[in-house]
Amino acid sequence: MKILIATSIYPPEIGRPSDYVRELPKYLSLKHTVNIVAYTNSQKPVPGATLISVSKKSSRIYRLLKYFLAMLKASRDTEVIYVQNAMAAGLPVILIGFLRKMPVIINFFGDEGKNALMFLIQKFVLQRAAIIIAQSKQIKNHLINTYKINQKKIALLYLPAENADILPFDVKREPFKILVCANKIEEKQAENISKIFTKIKEKYPQATMVVIEEVNHTDKIKTEYDNLKFLGKVSKAEMWWLLQNSEVVLIYSLMENKPYTALKSFMAETALICINTCSACEIVENEKTGLVVKNENHSSVAEAVIKIFGDETLKNYLTTESKKFLKEEFSWEKHVQSLHAIFESIVSPS
């Protein structure tokens, strides 16, 4: 099968979409011919694929036009187009799909832009895709409720686990250290996290807590709680160091809609706790691969942390089972197998 991957984010840019597109051709090319059209200035060869670069050094309209023409040329004899998100790459691709009567699959990473025009463009693109891949149940519900997508067009497919960063130094796990991960820390969350830590220190006064977030939002509140260390947004390398350096990872996010942090904690072999309002609980089996707390009440969360600190057998069981689960369910091989089945379902429908 000849597959064309379309993306607006590509290395050396950083982020999960960029990492995904970089790794995917290595596995797809074992059975398919793969081309990539990307907004990038890179000309570096891609293992397993042919890269067609569209320079970012021009106006937005001109970039879109150049991208459209590059896609039009590259899509000859292509059987399926696999596009990453619904805006900068998605809009030209949907038009190409219409012109060539070719199926388009969108891997939906999330909303791009928040104004009314961008929403309408994304809705236009998403509603015309053959299949949309949702990376969590929360994203699937978002597509149904916000963009009015027929659920029959949505395929639930989690991304494979990232490769762990190889740090140039040894990382020692710090006993009784808690790493709190959130999408965005609001004032009320910061207050609850402080209460959680205060309760933990009643039992384990030697405990320490570090708080990080995906969106740098803590500048106004981080100085108000002297018992916590707010780091805001950290680099990928810092994230891996903190995951391996901590004894417990607590995902305390009301907004996170993709379970990336849970997968990273599995790989770091660090015991995981999450509240049931985030997507991490979709892949965490309570008392087996982590602990799921059924609400964000500070007492319940603190008790879960104390439980792990006080039970070495439980902690070892959770980390062993989560690493096993990661290998069985979130490998690149399993992801590409599922992706291949999606491609086949629209190229050769039964």
Tell me the pLDDT tens digit for each residue of 273-294.
998 877 888 999 999 999 999 8
Name the band, by pLDDT with cuts 50, 70 and 90, for residue 174: very high
Which pLDDT score is estimated for 15?
81
Which pLDDT score is estimated for 179?
96
**Rounded Cα gap, residues 145 and 133, in angstroms:** 15
| Backbone phi and psi for residue 103, each to the nearest 5 degrees, phi listed first | -70, 140
**Rounded Cα gap, residues 153 and 158, in angstroms:** 16
Q: Does the structure show a pLDDT above 80 at 349?
A: no
Tell me the pLDDT tens digit for each residue of 100-159.
999 999 999 988 877 899 999 999 999 999 999 999 999 999 999 999 999 999 999 999
Position 131, amino acid: I
Q: Does the structure show a pLDDT above 60 at 318?
A: yes
Q: Does the structure show a pLDDT above 70 at 297?
A: yes
Q: Locate tokens 């989560």: which residue?
A: 322
Q: Does the structure show a pLDDT above 70 at 220?
A: no
Strand partners of residue 4: 35, 81
Q: Is the CATH number of domain 2-160+331-347 3.40.50.2000? A: yes
b/e burial code for range 254-274 (CB count within 10 A of at least 16 → b): eebbbbbbbbbbbbbbbbbbb
Which pLDDT score is estimated for 143?
96
Q: Does the structure show a pLDDT above 60 at 223?
A: no
Which pLDDT score is estimated for 227?
64
Which pLDDT score is estimated for 217?
55
Answer yes or no: same fold for 2-160+331-347 and 177-329: yes
Which pLDDT score is estimated for 226?
59
Q: Does the structure show a pLDDT above 70 at 272?
A: yes
Q: Enter the tokens of residue 336.
A: 């590409």
DSSP 46: B
Q: Does the structure show a pLDDT above 60 at 91?
A: yes
* Beta strands in 21-96, from DSSP E residues, in sequence order: 33-39, 50-54, 80-84
Which pLDDT score is estimated for 57?
85
Which pLDDT score is estimated for 222?
53
DSSP secondary structure letters along 84-100: ESSSTTHHHHHHHHHHH
Biggest CA–CA distance in the chain, Å, is 67
**SS3 letters for 290-335?**
EEEECCCCHHHHHHHHHHHHCCHHHHHHHHHHHHHHHHHHCCHHHH
Which pLDDT score is estimated for 233?
86
Position 279, amino acid: S
Name the band, by pLDDT with cuts 50, 70 and 90, for residue 187: confident
How do strand 80-84 and strand 104-108 relate by DSSP bridges?
A: parallel
Tell me the pLDDT tens digit for each residue of 30-81.
999 999 999 999 888 888 999 999 998 888 889 999 999 999 999 998 999 9
- In this structure, the chain runs to a length of 350
DSSP 49: B
In the chain, % of residues over pLDDT 90: 67
> Which of the listed CATH numbers 3.20.20.70, 3.40.50.2000, 3.90.1150.10, 1.10.10.10 matches domain 177-329?
3.40.50.2000
Question: What residues does each domain of the chain span?
Answer: 2-160+331-347, 177-329
| Backbone phi and psi for residue 226, each to the nearest 5 degrees, phi listed first | -75, -10
Q: What is the mean pLDDT of the chain?
A: 89
Q: Enter the tokens of residue 63.
A: 């970039």
Which pLDDT score is estimated for 186?
77
